[in-house]
Amino acid sequence: MEEMQCGLKASGHPYLWVVRKNNREEEVVLDEGHDSMVVQWCNQVQVLSHPSIGCFVTHCGWNSTLESLAYGVPMVAIPQWTDQDTNARMVVEWGTGVRAEVNKEGVLKREVLESCLETVMGNGECGIKIRQNAKVWEEKAKMAVRGGSSDHNFKDFLEKTTRV
């Protein structure tokens, strides 16, 4: 947690960090400043849909990945287990984020997080392309529910279930 906090601070970007009470390490004090906030819970969809969000540091659970794609928010992927590794690979393959590698002890070092945030949020070619790709995926998601495949599949499902 200390490494993550230092990486977030060193990035120079304001941040909202959600850390559940049962995930807090007693010896680590989670600092808040004028440009940062640490909370126990938030409405993730509300946060991701806000236009001021520039990046989502995520474990890449499927819901989090889909929500980030649907709102066009680039990601720093830090998978922990099960499907998260596959989801993180897709995020990188789709060009909507980068993967932050942990060390042999499973710790995400501050320098790695800071570098990933700089890549995604910075003005370099890679960051610009990631942000563009994230917006493309946002448009794809919108099209899917506005007369696209998801809309058609949902209408077909409703039609079939109401006949029964």
Predicted confidence (pLDDT) per residue in 33-61, tens digit: 878 999 999 999 999 999 999 999 999 99
pLDDT of amino acid 41: 93
**pTM for this one?**
0.88
**Residue indicated by tokens 């007693």:** 26
User: Which residues, at least 6 apart from 128, have a Cβ–Cβ distance to it below 8 Å?
Assistant: none
Distance linking the first and last C-alpha atoms of the chain = 52
Spatial separation of the C-alpha atoms in residues 127 and 70, rounded to whole Å: 19
Spatial separation of the C-alpha atoms in residues 53 and 104, rounded to whole Å: 31
Spatial separation of the C-alpha atoms in residues 150 and 153, rounded to whole Å: 5
Spatial separation of the C-alpha atoms in residues 22 and 101, rounded to whole Å: 24
pLDDT of amino acid 117: 98
Tell me the DSSP string of 50-69: STT---EEE---HHHHHHHH
- Render pLDDT for 125-142 as a digit per residue (tens, 0 to 9): 999 999 999 999 999 999
Q: What is the mean pLDDT of residues 14-32?
A: 80
pLDDT of amino acid 26: 65
- Render pLDDT for 58-112 as a digit per residue (tens, 0 to 9): 999 999 999 999 999 999 999 999 999 999 999 999 999 999 999 999 999 999 9
Question: What secondary structure letter does DSSP report for 21?
Answer: G
Extract the runs of DSSP E, i.e. beta strands, from the chain. 15-18, 36-39, 56-58, 75-77, 97-99
**Angle CA(41)–CA(100)–CA(12) in degrees, nearest 5?**
65
pLDDT of amino acid 13: 95
CATH topology of domain 2-163: Rossmann fold (3.40.50)
